Structure 1
């Protein structure tokens, strides 16, 4: 079992919507039940580098039928959101794969082929995983479904459900400006014919992050991915979404907070124009080296906007204890290297009957209310 706890392995009812977020492991994974055992999966993570991807482990624990996974969404190509994604797609043979329209460009495939060397610890980008995804789709002769602003991937009625509520799914980003900006960068990164093959260098900004809005009847969910706001650039980030008139206009009652709750993923108008008042909100923390999110100031900002916020794990802020020279020599004599233990993952599960007016919330593993995320 990935986790334990009362009713953990109890599958959702046919007329129940579920949104489950698992993390941090290495990254985060989201599993969404829309009814009748049908699922939408978003991104992927592993509890450890060699373990089964968390989404597959969870669905196995509750006895879900992977042939009923309708779609797999790749929010963006950062390594911490695609780890194990090839395994997920391979295990879900009938799933439609959705990602930024930029991944359909020949230039990106040339880039991925030229940068498929193993990544170093300091250079993280999900090129290797995406290469495997492309190969799987090629074997299936199934095209990637491109996401872009205001695109309705599934229209109401396209997936009939016994509970009678219509399901729809929209992609709201990346904006046209983000798309063009990425292609410009991509053309600069593709090596010349005589040039030595490179190691993939990640983008410093999440300019290809795909924000997803889905609805089941009156239930609306907004998944913020890692989309960041760029002050003074209304054609980028959340500003571009907020200014759009072509998107689904209903407000969401549940929000997967963008970019691990960071200030760069925040825009005041998200909370007034895209979300219901005091929505249910959730995030998965992020930690790499000395950096970690959310910060205490992020937690305070989010809790001022909604008291119904949750985190899949705590964020440890205590500095590592200094080791004296004798201890260091003993460690060096018995092992090649040492590093901090991986952050313990957790899971927050939200469920709501299609005829109900409120979400139920369950915590598993290291998950906590956001107010307790910084211990």
Structure 2
């Protein structure tokens, strides 16, 4: 995300199939921009595999960039157990979420940081970036809430101790700890919803964002749809009170489920709120049912079988201070 004056703010990371280069780095290089000097801020919204692949590479290549992550994981015990999980993962999977996190912590050690931790721990209301004329460009975290942080700090160590060999931190960093952000500029705002979901508690998820006393009350004209368009991240009150009517909306599909996201009813729901919905790739189809006889023949003739994913892509939105997207 270009935040003006040649400065870029990177949120999460992925790699395109067949490439070891993080997508954000590859994109900037196609624009003839030097990522090492241009990227000023890096945010890990949460530590799920589909959000962090290549993140450590970006952090290492951009020594001047401020690195931010959820304040819910601000505890020395968690960092220690990241290393423990990563050591056991080396015998299971080299490219796990734990290895990305551990690589970033290793980088902080190598650079001589007295305190091995991110530069910013993000929570509701915290400012992650200020720039532009008179600091008119602002990136503000909307989550996690204070209650989410407190809850996480009381149980994350116990969970890690009983699951220290797992490859995936999904159960240690649930979606209600995601860092959703609002980007404010002189002419429009962007709501980037990460994977933050609704909750039964008024103190968690989007319910906490709506009742927050510290978030900006400006409405957004561009929305990155939350959690791949899933209904569990949809909140009518967010759309009515935090978003302008008929916003420009972007959704990122997720194919690694038996019933991938967004589903047909998700697309219909979002399109009922805007006629300007864009997708970074074609929404994936549900996996076809397998027939026992056919499956047996295929297994006898092939070593590996996997669904072919559609080619990934991106949606680019450009605007100036005198134009809307």
Give the structure-2-normalised TM-score: 0.88
| 1:243-322 alignment, distance < 5 Å | 243-317=211-285, 319-320=287-288
**Which moves more between the two structures, 312-321 or 130-139?**
312-321
Alignment correspondent of 1:368: none
Superposed displacement of residue 278, structure 1: 1.2
Displacement over 3 Å in runs of 4+ = 119-122, 200-205, 318-333
Matches of 2:90 and 2:175, distance apart in 1: 19
Is this contact kept in 2: 1:166–1:217, CA < 8 A? yes
Q: 8 Å contact 1:213–1:221 — kept in the other structure?
A: yes
Distance 1:127 1:169, change over 3 A: same
Q: Which residue of 1 aligns with 2:159?
A: 189
2:253 touches 2:279 (CA, 8 Å); kept in 1? yes
For the residues of structure 2 that align with 1:130 and 1:252, how far apart are their CA atoms? 32
SS at match of 2:17: coil
Hey, what does 2:62 align to over in structure 1? 92
Partner of 2:43: 73
How far did residue 148 of structure 1 move?
0.5
Output the TM-score relative to the length of structure 1.
0.77
User: Which residue in the other structure is 1:48 paired with?
Assistant: 17
Q: What is the RMSD computed on CA atoms of the aligned residues?
A: 2.6
Distance 1:83-1:111 versus aligned 2 partners, 3 A rule = same
Are 1:258 and 1:266, in contact at CA under 8 Å, matched by a contact in 2? Answer: yes
In terms of fraction of residues, the more helix-rich structure is 2
1:152 aligned to 2:131? Answer: no
Post-superposition CA distance 1:64-121 (Å, at most 9, x none)? 1211211011011001100111111112221111111133311211221221133899
Structure 1 residue 175 displacement after superposition? 0.8
Task: Give yes or no for the alignment of 1:57 onto 2:26.
Answer: yes
Of 334, 344, 347, the residue aligned with 2:311 is 344
Q: Which residue is 2:78 aligned to?
A: 108
8 Å contact kept, 1:311–1:348? yes
Q: 1:151 to 1:316 in 2, by over 3 A?
A: closer
Partner of 2:7: 38
For residues 91 and 277 of structure 2, the distance between their equivalents in structure 1, rounded to whole angstroms, comes to 35
Q: Which runs of 5+ in 2 are unaligned?
A: none
1:171 matched to 2:141? The reply is: yes
Deviation (angstroms), 1:307: 0.9
Equivalents in 2 of 1:280, 1:173: separation in Å? 22
Please state which structure has a larger fraction of its residues in strand.
1
| Aligned position for 2:105 | 134
**Aligned residues between the structures:** 316
Structure 2 distance, partners of 1:119, 1:332, is: 31
Alignment gaps of 5+ in structure 1:
1-31, 360-375
Instruction: Work out the CA distance in 2 between the residues paired with 1:224 and 1:306.
Output: 16
